[in-house]
Structure 1
Amino acid sequence: MKFRLATMALMSAVSALAATAAHAEETAPPPAITISGSAALVSDYRFRGVSQSNGGAAVQGGITVSHESGAYVGFWSSNLAGWGTFGGPNLELDLIAGYKFPVTKSVALDVGLTFYTYPGGASKTAFAEPYVKVSGTLGPASVTTGVAYAPKQEALGKWYNSGASAVAGVYDNPGDKKDNFYLWTDAAAGIPSTPVTLKAHIGYSKGNSGLGPNGTSVAPTGKYVDWLLGADIALGKLTLGLAYVDTDISDAEALYLQPNFSSTKNGKTIAGSKFVASITAAF
């Protein structure tokens, strides 16, 4: 009987220890540093409404390392073609750093900087762009409003007044520096009891009305609006997306940018309306 009681006591103690360990594991604080990332295949890489992949597909991906304080660093990359090409491996590599912190239970402020680089490409292409974003949630809906301002830099300057000057290879304003302003709002709302999320975006660009040292511009035509309407379907760690993307840049407004501002495949505008499909894997 004593042996049986002792055995039962030992088993109870083991069970208690296991339960305590399980509870401790469940209530353990989140790690100080987290790493997240994604990889995606898109049918067209649109940056602020303008194709950077000549209207073709692009492979993209990035990783972000976040600290519990709210500080984070990361990178994001994509292949390029056509208007977005700067030579080398035709690659865009964005380096990102910032600090995100809560203002209220449902509102957060994010302050950071994106450094756009094009490894192995032409000189005077990289530029830095600080940003501020305010995001909030209400049930299944979320809204983010942001402003990005890139101070005067050579990569944003109006070195060519027109596409004709760029083709001739003669700088109209060598060494010119310009700034660039971008204001945008993103909204998303999940449909209850479904894996579907509806999304929308609108942005306004103001910057160089000509072409930079390598024949492109972050704000083609100087001032324009871009927008997006679409939906995502979450399938575990995969997300399927479809979006309608467009800008208010007309053919007439973009005429002075030709032939740079057209697809090299068919001569069509790279800022017109288009459905863009994507598949993204998160990790």
Structure 2
Amino acid sequence: MRTSNKINLGGKAKSTIVGLSAILLASTAAPAFAQEGESSSGITVSGNAAVTSDYRFRGLSFSDGDIAIQGGIDVAHDSGFYIGTWGSSIEDSPTYGHTELDIYGGWSGEVTSGLTLDVGLLYYFYPNGEDGAAGPSDYFEPYASVSGTVGPVEVTSGIAYAWSQDSLGNSDNVYIYTGVSAGIPETPITLNANIGINEGSLGNPAGVLGVNDYVDWMLGVDWAITDNLTATLAYTDTDAPSINNFTDSAIVFTLGVSF
């Protein structure tokens, strides 16, 4: 239920938080690589793995412009409830360590004809981090999104809100995003675009940006090489102060597999 690459803005939520798998969480962009395997109990287990040239989350690089290895597993019930986890390598630091692990759960389903709602809670966990002078790193973030189609275009809008927590400098953060996705008929190509607005402490990690609010956007293309293998090429940028390999524009390539 998670996207295996969080170049997306709405990112750090399952694939339906982004709704448009390849864009959002992020969240925020990127294809959803999960493949369903349903049992007689109505439970579906799916997994994904990917390698990406740069782990971008809501326009910010969490891998310092370097390659990241990512993957996750999800368990969903046909009632719409789900739980899952997703992990990625990140740039090593004393506070965050070298690994991010996201644990989440929620409900997703059609609330009216053509309109899907997704709500849940996500926990960001950094198992190799050390709570020192920089403070703790783990935090919670509830999320919600709605998605539907307008002609051949799928549209998703959502919000992720992190209340005041020690790891956020005792300040809250809100991220609002919208994305669109459309497949090119009779081809394995899907075009994606998204834009997000961040307001709060997560927009200024470690105080390096000097601002708390910024806008990020992404334009991307997915190529379904096989039913289980997808390649993504995306351009991402923000209006935050330019910092090389952190907030500057980038072209990101991702290769993901589902199982």
Distance change in 2, residues 1:134/1:31 (3 Å) = same
Cross-structure match for 1:62:
72
Structure 2 counterparts to residues 1-283 of structure 1, below 5 A? 32-81=42-91, 86-88=95-97, 90-123=98-131, 124-138=136-150, 140-157=152-169, 177-208=170-201, 215=206, 221-236=211-226, 237-251=228-242, 262=243, 268-283=244-259
CA contact (8 A) 1:230 1:242 kept: yes
Note the C-alpha offset of 1:141: 2.4
Equivalent pairs: percent with the same residue?
46
Distance change in 2, residues 1:85/1:101 (3 Å) = farther
Encode CA deviations 1:23-75: one digit per residue, 9 max, x unaligned: xxxxx997510011211111000011010001001011111110111100000
Unaligned runs of 5+ in 1: 1-27, 158-176, 252-261, 263-267
Provide the C-alpha distance between the structure 1 equivalents of 2:71 and 2:238, rounded to a whole number of angstroms.
25
Aligned residue for 2:146, secondary structure, equals strand
Provide the C-alpha distance between the structure 2 equivalents of 1:29 and 1:210, rounded to a whole number of angstroms.
42
Higher strand proportion: 2
Provide the C-alpha distance between the structure 2 equivalents of 1:178 and 1:98, rounded to a whole number of angstroms.
24
CA contact (8 A) 1:106 1:138 kept: no
TM-score by length of 1: 0.71
Provide the C-alpha distance between the structure 2 equivalents of 1:104 and 1:181, rounded to a whole number of angstroms.
27
Note the C-alpha offset of 1:85: 6.5
Note the C-alpha offset of 1:103: 1.4
CA contact (8 A) 1:144 1:185 kept: yes
Higher relative contact order (CA closer than 8 Å, sequence separation 6+):
2
Higher helix proportion: 1
TM-score by length of 2: 0.78
Encode CA deviations 1:109-142: one digit per residue, 9 max, x unaligned: 1110110010021221000000111011345421
CA contact (8 A) 1:228 1:244 kept: yes
RMSD, matched Cα: 2.3
Note the C-alpha offset of 1:152: 0.4
Provide the C-alpha distance between the structure 2 equivalents of 1:58 and 1:111, rounded to a whole number of angstroms.
28
CA contact (8 A) 2:138 2:167 kept: yes
Provide the C-alpha distance between the structure 2 equivalents of 1:103 and 1:226, rounded to a whole number of angstroms.
29
Q: How many pairs were matched up? A: 217
